[in-house]
Amino acid sequence: MTTRTYATRASSYLHRSPRVRLAGLLSVPMVWLLLAYLGSLAVMFAAAFWTTDSFTGVLIHSFTWDNFHTLVDQPVYRRVALRTLGIAVAVTVIDAIIALPMAFYMAKVASPRWRRLLVASILTPLWASYLVKAYAWRAMLANGGVLDWALKPIGLHGPGFGLVAVTMTLAYLWLPFMILPVYAGFERLPDSLLEASADLGAPAGRTFRSVALPAVFPALVAGSIFTFSLTLGDYITVKIVGGKTQMFANVIYDSIGVAANLPFAAAAATVPVLLIVVYLTIVRRTGALENL
């Protein structure tokens, strides 16, 4: 009986004090957010100002800008950062170009039965492991692989391993992340708007430009955030199909895995963070984030 009364007393106390109730409800997620999530980010940025003993790899905890100087002074890091940015933009544009007609067809043209099938077929690649898909592309892009075989009749051959291969593979890997938001965007667009545009005499192209595209733009932006940021952080695909090229995440990875230089890796990690922040700022300017 006593437990019951304790429970009753506790619950009536909570009932009377909404602030305690709120604190109890939010404290765990807040601790998680502040300590585990923001805290680890803060530790990372703090570590960027330290350095290591170059021989034994022991951390030296004294404040220095050296890592950032190296990042700025060495042209190689700028080159790799620009290449990575280029790949991220290319992947985003390719995915957008493929996703727009695909999502439009799924949302507006296909019968409900076909629509379900198409959505399922876009989702199925997500069930397979990232590595399996990347290695599948390695096999396809390899010498005498599927691409070489398919292009042979028209006198061409596949791109081989390198930048093009990386862009293709990443565009394939992140395509569902672009199609799904755009598809949802088209679904929300009422058919009547398209009909009204047609009734007023607009040709298909004009309807697309002036009615459909503005309506799905926020969805396109949402998708682009995925494709852009996922590409910026990728270092495995380039290891598998990149041949001799490297991306910025490889620089970070090698700083830890090869050089055992955690502080420099932390400093390098601020570069993609900065790129994403710039990208999000540009995106916010367009007002797309408010309409998501």
Partner 1 sequence: MRAQRSTVYRATAVLGVLAVALAGCGSSSSSKSAAGTSSGGTSGGAAKVPKVAMLDKVGAGEGALNIIVWAGYAEDGSNDKTVDWVHPFQTSTGCKVNVKVGNTSDEMVTLMKTGQYDGVSASGDATLRLIYGGDVAPVNTSLVPNYTTIADFLKVKAWNSVNGQMYGIPHGWGANVLTWRPDKVTPAPDSWSVVFDANSPYKGKVTAYDSPIYIADAALYLKATKPDLKITNPYELDATQFKAATDLLTTQKGIIGEYWSDYTKAVSALESGNTVVGTEWQVNDNLVNAGTKAKVESTVPKEGSTGWSDTWMVAAKAKHPNCMYEWMNWITSPTVNDQVAEWFGEAPAQTKACDVAKDKTFCTTYHALDPAYAAKISYWTTPVKACGDSRGNTCMDYAAWTTAWTTIKG
Positions that interact with partner 1 (CB under 8 A): 38-39, 41-43, 45-46, 49-50, 53-63, 74, 76, 79-80, 138-139, 142-145, 160-161, 239-240, 243-246, 251, 254, 257-261, 290
DSSP state of 209: I
- Comparing C-alpha atoms, which of 187, 182, 175, 170 is closest to residue 122? 175
Return the SS3 of 59. strand
User: How many angstroms separate the CA atoms of 291 and 27, rounded?
Assistant: 30
- Residue among 113 and 244 whose Cβ is closer to partner 1: 244
User: Least distance to partner 1 from the beta carbon of 49, Å?
Assistant: 5
- Residue among 98 and 280 whose Cβ is closer to partner 1: 280
User: Least distance to partner 1 from the beta carbon of 177, Å?
Assistant: 24
- Comparing C-alpha atoms, which of 101, 112, 235 is closest to residue 175? 101
Report whether 288 contacts 217 (CB < 8 A). yes
User: Least distance to partner 1 from the beta carbon of 90, Å?
Assistant: 19
- Residue among 67 and 197 whose Cβ is closer to partner 1: 67
Return the SS3 of 51. strand
- Residue among 109 and 139 whose Cβ is closer to partner 1: 139
Which helix (DSSP H) or strand (DSSP E) does residue 45 occupy?
Answer: helix 40-47
Return the exposure string of 108-134: e unless at least 16 CB atoms fall within 10 Å of the residue's CB, then b. Answer: eeeeeeebeebbeebeeeeeeeeeebb
User: Least distance to partner 1 from the beta carbon of 153, Å?
Assistant: 20
- Residue among 69 and 206 whose Cβ is closer to partner 1: 69
What the block records as the tokens of 241 is 């199909």
- Residue among 98 and 289 whose Cβ is closer to partner 1: 289
User: How many angstroms separate the CA atoms of 120 and 11, rounded?
Assistant: 47
Which CA distances in Å does 23 have to 17, 29, 170, 178, 246?
10, 10, 43, 38, 47
User: Least distance to partner 1 from the beta carbon of 233, Å?
Assistant: 18
- Residue among 148 and 187 whose Cβ is closer to partner 1: 148
User: Least distance to partner 1 from the beta carbon of 144, Å?
Assistant: 6
User: How many angstroms separate the CA atoms of 4 and 225, rounded?
Assistant: 52
Task: Provide the pairing of β-strand 59-60 with 51-52.
Answer: antiparallel
User: Least distance to partner 1 from the beta carbon of 17, Å?
Assistant: 25
User: Least distance to partner 1 from the beta carbon of 175, Å?
Assistant: 25
Within 128-162, residue ranges assigned H as helices are 130-141, 146-151
- Residue among 111 and 281 whose Cβ is closer to partner 1: 281
- Comparing C-alpha atoms, which of 158, 212, 157 is closest to residue 182? 212
